[in-house]
Homo-oligomer: A and B are copies of this chain.
Amino acid sequence: MSSASTGSINKIGKSTVPRTAICTSDEHSITVRGEDLCHDLIGKISFTDYFSLLVTGQRPSNADRMVLDATLVAIAEHGMVPSVQASRMTYAAAPDALQGAVAAGILGCGSVILGASETAGRMFSEVDQQAGPTGDLRAAAKEVIGRWRAAGQPVPGYGHPLHKDRDPRVVRLFAVSKEAGAGQRFVEIAEAVEAVIPEVVGKELKLNVSAAIPAVLLGTNFPLRGLRGVPILARTAGLIAHLCEEAVNPSGFALSYQATRELVYEGPAPKASAR
Compute how far the CA of A253 lies from the CA of B83 in the bound complex, rounded to whole angstroms: 10
A157 contacts B by Cβ under 8 Å:
no
User: Which among A102, A108, A169 has the greatest number of chain B C-beta atoms within 10 A?
Assistant: A108
A10 contacts B by Cβ under 8 Å:
yes
A62 contacts B by Cβ under 8 Å:
no
Instruction: Report whether A70 and B43 are in contact in the complex, using a CB–CB cutoff of 8 Å.
Output: yes
User: Which among A39, A86, A175 has the greatest number of chain B C-beta atoms within 10 A?
Assistant: A86
Neighbour of A267 across the interface among B14, B24, B73, B110, CB < 8 A:
B24
A22-B77, A22-B241 known; A162-B27 Cβ under 8 A: yes
A266 contacts B by Cβ under 8 Å:
yes
Instruction: Report whether B89 and A99 are in contact in the complex, using a CB–CB cutoff of 8 Å.
Output: no
A197 contacts B by Cβ under 8 Å:
no
Q: Which of A243-268 contact B (CB under 8 A)?
A: 243-245, 247-249, 251-268
Instruction: Report whether A18 and B251 are in contact in the complex, using a CB–CB cutoff of 8 Å.
Output: yes
A203 contacts B by Cβ under 8 Å:
no
Compute how far the CA of A57 lies from the CA of B72 in the bound complex, rounded to whole angstroms: 18
B residues near A138, Cβ cutoff 8 Å = none
A179 and chain B: residue at smallest CB distance: B43
Q: Which of A201-231 contact B (CB under 8 A)?
A: 223, 225-226, 228-229
B residues near A233, Cβ cutoff 8 Å = 233, 236-237, 240
Stretch at the interface among A46-54, A125-133, A141-149, A186-194: A46-54
Number of A residues with CB within 8 Å of any CB on chain B: 151
Starting from the known contacts A43-B173, A99-B108, A104-B104, 5 additional A-B residue pairs (CB-CB under 8 Å) come to: A10-B81, A17-B264, A46-B69, A57-B267, A99-B107
Instruction: Report whether A80 and B18 are in contact in the complex, using a CB–CB cutoff of 8 Å.
Output: yes
Instruction: Report whether A104 and B102 are in contact in the complex, using a CB–CB cutoff of 8 Å.
Output: no
Compute how far the CA of A269 lies from the CA of B34 in the bound complex, rounded to whole angstroms: 5
A195 contacts B by Cβ under 8 Å:
no
A2 contacts B by Cβ under 8 Å:
yes
A31 contacts B by Cβ under 8 Å:
yes
User: Which among A8, A55, A162, A249 has the greatest number of chain B C-beta atoms within 10 A?
Assistant: A8
Top 3 closest A-B pairs, CB basis? A94-B110, A13-B257, A34-B268
A19-B249, A93-B112, A106-B102 known; A261-B1 Cβ under 8 A: yes
Neighbour of A275 across the interface among B23, B39, B229, B256, CB < 8 A:
B39
